[in-house]
Every structure is written in C-alpha cells, then in structure tokens.
Amino acid sequence: MSESKTKRVYGIDLGTTYSAIAFIDEFGKSQIITNSDNERVTPSVVFFESEKNVIVGKIAKESAKTDPRRVVDFVKRQMSDKDWTFTVDDKSYKPEEISAHILRRLAGDANKTGEHQVEDVVITCPAYFGDLERQRTRDAGKLAGLNVIEILDEPVAAAINYGLNNKDSKGKNVIVYDLGGGTFDVTVVSIGNDPNKNEISIVCTEGNHQLGGKDWDDQIVQYYVSEFQNQTGSSADILADQESSYDLRFNAETDKKTLSNKENIKRKVTYEGEKAVVELSREKFDEATAGLLEQTFALTDKVLEEAKEKEVAKIHAFLLVGGSTRMPQIKAKVTERYGASLGITPVEFDVDEAVAKGAAKSGEIHVIKKRLDDAIRAMTDGEDIDTLPENKRKDITEKAVSKTAGDYELPTTTVIDIKETTIKKVATKSYGIRALKNGQPVVRNLIIKQTPVPTEGNQTFGTAGANADEIDLVVYVNNESEADTQEDMSEQLGNAVFKLDGNLPAKAPIEITFQLDDQGSLTLVGLDKTYGKTITANFKSDGVMTKEEIEKAETKQKDITILC
C-alpha cells in the first residue's frame, strides 16, 4: 500500500465566527466532520484559560461572559491589521497564532475520528484577502503543524461544491452571495458547457471583510442599550463594562437566530441593579439593519456590472451561502431586488458547509492531479507528454490514470473526471508601486483586479544615478480597477528591495515584474536590461512573520494544549 492511500486532504473553512472541517469519503463525496461537541461547526473563539491551556469552541464562547479579558473572537477581522495583538498573562499573540489554535482544535477533532491524521489541508479565506492576509492564513496552518497545500477563496470553494455536485450546472453562470459571521463576498462564477470537462471560472468578485452577521448583532446590541436607557432613565454605559457588553453581544446573536424562526422576542437587560424588558420584532430588526443589507446590494450590483463588462450578462442561478443568509430578510430582499431583474429565485445552498466541502474537493483535485502529473513524468522520462505522438500520449495517460486510481483506490472514472477539471480564478486585488506622473505621486497598478490568474504585469524604471546598488520600491494593494490610482486609496504592503551589482550607468533600465499566482501570492522579479540579468528581490508584505518569528511561535505552540 502506498503511503498516499492513508493520507487524506482536509478542507478547512476558517471562519470569522464559526469554522468547519471536511474530507472526501470513499464515494468521492465531501463530508463534514462532527466536532467533539457533536456539532458540525465550531465557534472560532479562543479562551486562554491559562498559559498552557487554551480552549477553543463552544466553551470558549460561553466563557467570554464570565472571563471576557481572556477570550478572543473575530480574529479573522484582524488578519489585515499589521499591528494587532491580543495580550493575556503578559504574552501577546498575533492573529495567525490565534488562528493556529482554532486550526489545531479542528484538526484534533478530525484526528479523533479514525486512522487518518490531519496533515495536508486546504484552508479557505475571503476572496478579497490580499497577499498579507493569505500569507498569514498559510502561516497559521504552519503553526498548527499542518501542511497547507492551498489557500482557496471561499466563493471558489462554494462554487466547486456547487459545480461539481450539480450535473445540471453545466453552461451556467452563477452568482454566489456569501454572508458569513464577519465577512461578505459576492462572486460571479461561470461553469463550462463541455460535458467531458469540469471548468469552473471565476468571472469577478467583490466583498467587504468588515461586514457580516456580527454587524447585525451589533444593531441589536445598540437597540437593547437604548431601550434599557429609555425604560430605566439610566444613562449608564453598559458597553463600557466588558462582561455586560459580552453578555449583550452573546444574547444578541442568540436573539437574531431566534428571529429567523419567530416574529418577536423579549430580552431582559439588567445593569447596575436596573432592569428592562425589551421587545424586538423581526420587522423592527429588519428595519434597523436595512442599511447593512444595502451595503451587500451595492457590492452585488457592482459585481453584476463587472460581469456584464466581461460579457457574462445572463445569470442562471443565485446561491445564498454563509450562516447569515438564514436571516429571512436576506432571501426575501435578495429576491425582491434581483429575482425579477435576473429572472431567477435565489436559493440557499449548503449554507454552513459549502465552503469546507468545496475546500476538501479542491484538495483532492490538487493532490490527484499532482500525482497524475508525477506518474506521467515518470513514464515519459521527464519528456513533455504533449511533444509525443498521439497514440503514445494516449497510452501513457491511460496507464498513469490507472496507476493513480490504484494508488488511491479510486475508480478510474473519478481520476479522469479530476484530470478534466480546471478551476480558473481572478486577481481579487490590484497591486501597484509608487510612481510619479506629471510630477505627482501616484500608485501605478501593475496587476489589475479581476484579471485571470496566474498573471503578471511589469514596468521599466531607470536607476537614479550611476553605480546604484539597489532599487527600493514601495508596493501597494488596492481595490481600484484603473492603471493609476491615489496613495490614499491604497494600502502599503511593504518595500521591495532589488539588489544591483553596483556597476550600472545612470538611468540603466530595470524591468520590474509583479507575478500573482492562482493562490493570490505575489512575487516580484527584476531584470537588469543592460546586462540581461535577473535581479533578486527581497519582498514580503509588512506584517508577515519572519522565519525566526515563525520558529519562535512554533515553540510557543508546542507548550500549549488545546482543549475543547
């Protein structure tokens, strides 16, 4: 038995509020792993009980009511903040370290289910995460002792789960409206028409990583506070008190979920000996949160417009994904707004699980394709198979398919299916550099968002003086679609330093190329055009841990036991 047989790839939806882990069973179906609380999703909440003991999940969430200073949640929202840390017992933790604890809990639960140890994983992230957040998500996996084979966009994962499980999805354009606990993204996906191929192409995507179910909860919290003040005449600031504030937030989420099934709820709010009983109707809740919903519509309009520009005008299916789409207002208002204009009825689609399941499927595709490529390479002695005569090509491909199927104990049809699967993605951000235009500083985007990836863009610069020994460029990321944009519309990613030999004349041309791979990872390459020499660049997004920091954090992780 080959080593690979016992190795599975796991798909992890590392969510802002809840996370889930899935694998592909022997029938090729994605299965969610139930956690040790017997639930299919695990709250992404971390409770530092002591320096050595960290509790992740339901108990951590409940502990926040009594011990809020030791509990951290919504950490995914901090992935883009280079300076954010959570401090407890005089120790500070970066977002990737806290995310690693969540991943360790998920992997630990999966390890308990059988003989398969979790090692190779695909972790999902919001589509519009940039290089920094993606690298940090990858590092979180590494810190958790996992081998991250792919960082996959959440809507792509949902689309894979939809496209590969619905044979009637062929030739359809689908919009995925994903409203989770802390993030929103909306994506147009095109599913290829060829019956012998599985082609899933992302057309365009938009999103807001500060918009999710939490914001709906916050509206309820605000309402409770103001009603408490009205009823009691107290002007006390309940939210200034951490325990009461957490209690209110916790109750608000519970009440929001109840309002998905009931029309009215009552909530007792007590503070400093005063008590109020607050009533909230679904109608009032919907009214108070209409502005939030409108923000999702603005992005949906934008993505539909962008799809039209790319000649994807007809949308055949509208999928609602993410726990927050359980709120009745979402389906009702989305239908009202888009049902008639697009001529379709939005449908909930595997709301809590689509992303983890799609990630597991993507992992399987990744691994099987790689194994198939390796088998082909071994059979062609490293020669490119496309250069061989057709009959030889066919013969080798069949043998490689059969070997891979045997190694993985899969039907050959499954391996052929995977071989014919392609997932095409787009850049979800624009990447540029600081440049001067008519004497004014601008950000010149070398990669423009919504361009299919992998992609690259370049620009040639002249060295300032003779014998310069480096070029130092400031790299930016932004959401703009123009070639030139302003610095205040962009976020600085970091500095790229290109080392030169120091023997170039003044104004020597140096070509800088940005390469973005299909996982959203940015690499910078330089070319000294005078001598035709490639120049190495030192670049990593500011805020990404250094090798030494990773090693230190790995040691820190080893000291900590993760409890449920």
- Measured in whole angstroms, the distance separating CA 186 from the mean position of its chain's CA atoms is 13
CB 217 to ligand AMP: min, Å: 7
Q: Does 324 bind ligand AMP (CB under 6 A)?
A: yes
Q: Does 111 bind ligand AMP (CB under 6 A)?
A: no
CB 58 to ligand AMP: min, Å: 14
Where b means 16+ CB within 10 Å and e means fewer, 263-298 reads eebebebebeeeebebebebeebbeebeebbeebee
**Looking at beta carbons, which residue is closest to ligand AMP?**
213
Question: Candidates 319-327, 340-348, 514-522, 556-564 — which segment interacts with ligand AMP by CB under 6 A?
Answer: 319-327
- Measured in whole angstroms, the distance separating CA 14 from the mean position of its chain's CA atoms is 8
CB 324 to ligand AMP: min, Å: 4
**The one among 352, 407, 480, 491 contacting ligand AMP by CB under 6 A:** 352
Q: What string marks each residue from 258 to 297 as x (binds ligand AMP by CB under 6 A) or -? A: --x-------------------------------------
| Contact positions with ligand AMP (CB under 6 A) in 202-241 | 213-214
Q: Does 68 bind ligand AMP (CB under 6 A)?
A: no
Q: Helices in 260-320 by DSSP H: which ranges?
A: 282-288, 290-309
Q: Does 429 bind ligand AMP (CB under 6 A)?
A: no
Other Cβ atoms within 10 Å of 140 Cβ, number: 29
**The one among 10, 11, 12, 17 contacting ligand AMP by CB under 6 A:** 17
302 vs 307: CA distance, rounded Å: 9
C-beta of 214 vs 361, nearer to ligand AMP: 214
Q: Does 485 bind ligand AMP (CB under 6 A)?
A: no
Q: Does 359 bind ligand AMP (CB under 6 A)?
A: no
CB 286 to ligand AMP: min, Å: 12
Task: Identify the sign of the CA torsion 132, 138, 142, 144.
Answer: positive
What are 12's two structure tokens? Answer: 């992890």
CB 293 to ligand AMP: min, Å: 13
Q: 300: helix, coil or strand?
A: helix
**The one among 68, 141, 155, 181 contacting ligand AMP by CB under 6 A:** 181
**The one among 108, 130, 163, 180 contacting ligand AMP by CB under 6 A:** 180
Q: Does 543 bind ligand AMP (CB under 6 A)?
A: no
Q: Residue 85 carries which side chain, given as an amino acid letter?
A: T
- How many residues of this chain bind ligand AMP (CB under 6 A)? 19
Q: Does 329 bind ligand AMP (CB under 6 A)?
A: no
CB 262 to ligand AMP: min, Å: 11
Tell me 106's DSSP state: H
**The one among 55, 157, 327, 475 contacting ligand AMP by CB under 6 A:** 327
What Å distances lie between residue 184 and 175, 323, 553, CA to CA?
Answer: 13, 11, 30
Q: Does 256 bind ligand AMP (CB under 6 A)?
A: yes
Q: Does 331 bind ligand AMP (CB under 6 A)?
A: no
Q: What are phi and psi of 17, to 5 degrees?
A: -110, -35
CB 17 to ligand AMP: min, Å: 4
- Measured in whole angstroms, the distance separating CA 536 from the mean position of its chain's CA atoms is 29
CB 289 to ligand AMP: min, Å: 11
What are 161's two structure tokens? Answer: 């789960």
Q: Does 154 bind ligand AMP (CB under 6 A)?
A: no
C-beta of 306 vs 350, nearer to ligand AMP: 350
CB 72 to ligand AMP: min, Å: 17
C-beta of 126 vs 457, nearer to ligand AMP: 126
Q: Does 254 bind ligand AMP (CB under 6 A)?
A: no
396 vs 388: CA distance, rounded Å: 10
C-beta of 18 vs 47, nearer to ligand AMP: 18
Q: Residue 352 carries which side chain, given as an amino acid letter?
A: D
Packing angle, helices 154-165 and 354-379, rounded to 10: 80
Nearest CA to 2 out of 409, 415, 412 is that of: 409
Residues counted in the chain = 564
Nearest CA to 269 out of 216, 213, 224, 334 is that of: 224
Task: Identify the sign of the CA torsion 527, 531, 533, 538.
Answer: negative
Long-range contacts of 243-247 (CB under 8 A, 24+ apart): 243/65, 243/66, 243/68, 244/271, 245/68, 245/221, 246/64, 246/65, 246/68, 246/71, 247/65
Q: Does 425 bind ligand AMP (CB under 6 A)?
A: no
Question: Candidates 194-202, 323-331, 458-466, 475-483 — which segment interacts with ligand AMP by CB under 6 A?
Answer: 323-331
Q: Given the rule CB under 6 A, which residues bind ligand AMP? A: 15-18, 41, 180-181, 213-214, 253, 256-257, 260, 322-324, 326-327, 352
